[in-house]
């Protein structure tokens, strides 16, 4: 594993006293504790609870000073640390027989920290795998027409007819005259590209539903023709006179 | 047809396929062979293909075979395609995903216990990206939702199946050495 590929690189630690702020590294209280333990080169099986608690609380104070919303889990951990610290200070229970092993109040916390570090390592492994997968391409899918689907390429006449239908339906609606906003073919081209990035196919008629004005309809239609001309989209029917579908063509440009 | 004659056919199908090709699917096209024979032919073909120092490789991912470019040439391919690397998962999302992958089926509360912090938004991202799916409900009070990894997870991380993930013990050992 390449350590330079760490998704959340630990900034070069300035070994100056006090607290270095590295908010992005500390997603949660366990991350902060792990950081403190590593920085202080502490043996996890023998954590100096008083020292760590002090540093942890200092950090929380700093978060408050910086107006960072200190989420509940940070306070729960603070309470846990203080509880462990107080139990460490108590003298051994005289009732408990001497040969019986006294349970270390830190055991649970150590387990939690190790468990957390374990999954952090697993996350790191996933990150490396993701990097590799991002550097790999599959053969690009061609324009495949599945057998049995009997698709029909759409003629200009079909498209005009469908367009006429859209305009007719629009005019049949009682519509209010509103101030019209400018709309350009470029905008509509971008809109259609965006739609096709999300959907594999779009129905011709849905593209025109809920458009506010006839100008929008016409501009959308022109944008569609422009995209066909550029081979960015492809129009087809499952059978003649059926609904027209829009899908990505061979020169489809992903909208940015 | 002899089994060795299968190889070029399999290679050609894998080339045109969009999804990883499963032996069961190939067996439908080649009824004279058993799934085991096809599986063996696939493995041999992939090994032979990959032994050649070419720009392509055949990999076993998500239960099927797929042809991809080799990762070492990514800079040239990216320059040619003028493509940018796709957005990577955040650390929070990766950690949450790691917990789900190793502890599945798992509830949100169990994820919280391991990560020590709320993971709702990370989980949301994973669900949106379809890397994780709802696999059922835990038969306890409140019947909390159980989450597991999806096929998309295997594809995203180039895994044949979940058993290909390193064991958690390896990471535990690593954690012991780090702390």
Q: Are B59 and B45 in contact (CB under 8 A)?
A: no
CA distance A34 to chain B (A): 8
pLDDT tens readout for residues B2-35: 777 888 999 999 998 888 999 999 999 999 999 9
Q: Which residues contact A153 (CB under 8 A, 6 or more apart)?
A: A235, A236, A237
The Cα B115–Cα A113 span in angstroms is: 9
Rounded Cα distance between A8 and A2, Å, is: 13
Residue B69 tokens, joined:
């470019």
What is the pLDDT, as a whole number, of residue A14?
A: 42
Q: What is the mean pLDDT of residues B155-173?
A: 91
Question: CA–CA distance from A10 to each of A23, A138, A167, A230, B93 (Å)?
Answer: 11, 34, 60, 48, 18
CA distance B74 to B70: 7
For chain A, helix, strand, coil in percent to 5 are: 55, 5, 40
Is residue A2 within 8 angstroms of chain B, CB to CB?
A: no
CB contact B66 to A (< 8 Å)? yes
DSSP H or E run through A95: none
Q: Spell out the domains of chain B, with CATH numbers in brackets.
A: 3-80 (1.10.10.10), 91-178 (1.10.10.10)
A126 CB near a chain B CB, below 8 Å? yes
Give the domain A152-173+180-248 fold: Arc Repressor Mutant, subunit A (1.10.10)
CA distance B102 to B149: 9
Domains of chain A, by residue range, sit at: 3-134, 152-173+180-248
Question: Which residues 6+ apart lie within 8 Å of A64 measured at CB?
Answer: A70
Report strand pairing: A233-237 vs A152-153.
antiparallel
Ramachandran region, residue B63 (left: φ > 0; alpha: ψ -120 to 50; beta: rest): left
Question: What confidence score (pLDDT) does residue A217 get?
Answer: 86
A 10 A CB-CB count for A31 gives 21
**pLDDT score recorded for residue B83:** 77
Task: Locate all alpha helices (DSSP H) within A145-213, ordered by sequence.
Answer: 156-172, 185-198, 204-208
Question: What pLDDT score does A151 carry?
Answer: 60
What is the least distance, in Å, from the CA of B97 to any CA of chain A? 7
Residue A189 touches chain B, beta carbons under 8 Å: no
Average pLDDT, chain B: 90
Q: Which of B115, B166, B177 to mutate to test the interface with A (most CBs of A within 10 A)?
A: B115
Question: What tens-digit pLDDT sequence spans chain A (256 residues)?
Answer: 344 444 444 444 444 445 444 454 567 889 889 988 988 888 888 889 999 999 999 988 888 887 777 778 888 899 999 999 898 888 776 666 565 666 788 888 999 999 999 999 999 999 999 988 888 888 665 555 555 445 666 777 777 888 888 888 777 765 555 566 678 888 888 888 888 888 888 888 888 877 877 888 888 888 988 888 888 888 888 776 778 888 888 778 765 4
How far is the C-alpha of A52 from the C-alpha of A113, rounded, in Å?
13
- Rounded Cα–Cα distance for residues B124 and B132 (Å): 9
B70 touching chain A per CB within 8 A: yes
Nearest to A118 among B72, B86, B175 (CB): B175
Of A37, A112, A136, the CB nearest to B179: A37
Predicted local confidence at residue A139, as pLDDT: 66
Q: B77 vs A134: CB contact, 8 Å cut-off?
A: no
pLDDT of residue A98: 60
């Amino acid at each position: 594993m390449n350590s330079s590929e760490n998704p959340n690189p630990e900034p070069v630690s300035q070994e100056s006293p006090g607290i270095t702020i590295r908010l992005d590294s500390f997603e949660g209280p366990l991350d902060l504790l792990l950081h403190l333990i590593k920085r202080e080169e502490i043996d996890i099986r023998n954590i100096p609870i008083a020292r760590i608690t002090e540093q942890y609380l200092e950090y929380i104070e700093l978060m408050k000073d910086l107006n960072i919303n200190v989420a509940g889990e940070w306070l729960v951990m603070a309470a846990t640390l203080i509880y462990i610290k107080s139990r460490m200070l108590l003298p051994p229970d005289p009732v408990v027989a001497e040969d019986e092993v006294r349970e270390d109040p830190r055991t649970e916390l150590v387990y939690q920290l190790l468990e957390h570090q374990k999954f952090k390592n697993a996350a790191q492994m996933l990150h490396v795998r993701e990097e590799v997968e991002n550097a790999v391409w599959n053969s690009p899918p061609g324009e495949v027409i599945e057998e049995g689907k009997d698709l029909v390429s759409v003629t200009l006449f079909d498209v005009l007819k469908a367009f006429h239908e859209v305009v007719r339906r629009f005019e049949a609606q009682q519509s209010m005259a509103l101030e019209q906003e400018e709309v350009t073919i470029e905008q509509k081209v971008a809109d259609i590209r965006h739609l096709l990035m999300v959907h594999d196919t779009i129905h011709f008629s849905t593209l025109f539903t809920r458009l506010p004005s006839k100008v929008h309809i016409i501009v959308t239609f022109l944008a569609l023709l422009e995209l066909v001309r550029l081979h960015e989209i492809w129009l087809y029917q499952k059978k003649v006179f059926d609904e027209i579908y829009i899908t990505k063509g061979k020169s489809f440009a992903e909208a940015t | 047809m002899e089994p060795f004659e299968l190889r070029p056919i399999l290679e050609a199908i894998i080339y045109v396929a969009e999804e990883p090709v499963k032996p069961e699917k190939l067996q439908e096209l080649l009824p004279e062979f058993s799934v085991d024979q096809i599986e063996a032919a696939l493995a041999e073909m992939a090994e032979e293909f990959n032994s050649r120092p070419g720009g392509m490789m055949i990999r076993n991912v998500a239960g099927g075979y797929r042809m991809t470019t080799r990762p070492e040439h990514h800079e040239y391919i990216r320059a040619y395609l003028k493509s940018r690397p796709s957005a990577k998962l955040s650390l929070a999302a990766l950690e949450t995903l790691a917990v789900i992958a190793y502890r599945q089926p798992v509830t949100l509360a169990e994820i919280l216990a391991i990560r020590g912090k709320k993971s709702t938004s990370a989980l949301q991202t994973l669900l949106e990206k379809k890397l994780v799916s709802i696999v059922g409900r835990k038969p306890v009070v409140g019947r909390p939702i159980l989450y597991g990894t999806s096929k998309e997870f295997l594809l995203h991380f180039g895994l044949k199946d979940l058993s290909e993930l390193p064991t958690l013990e390896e990471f535990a050992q690593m954690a012991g050495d780090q702390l």
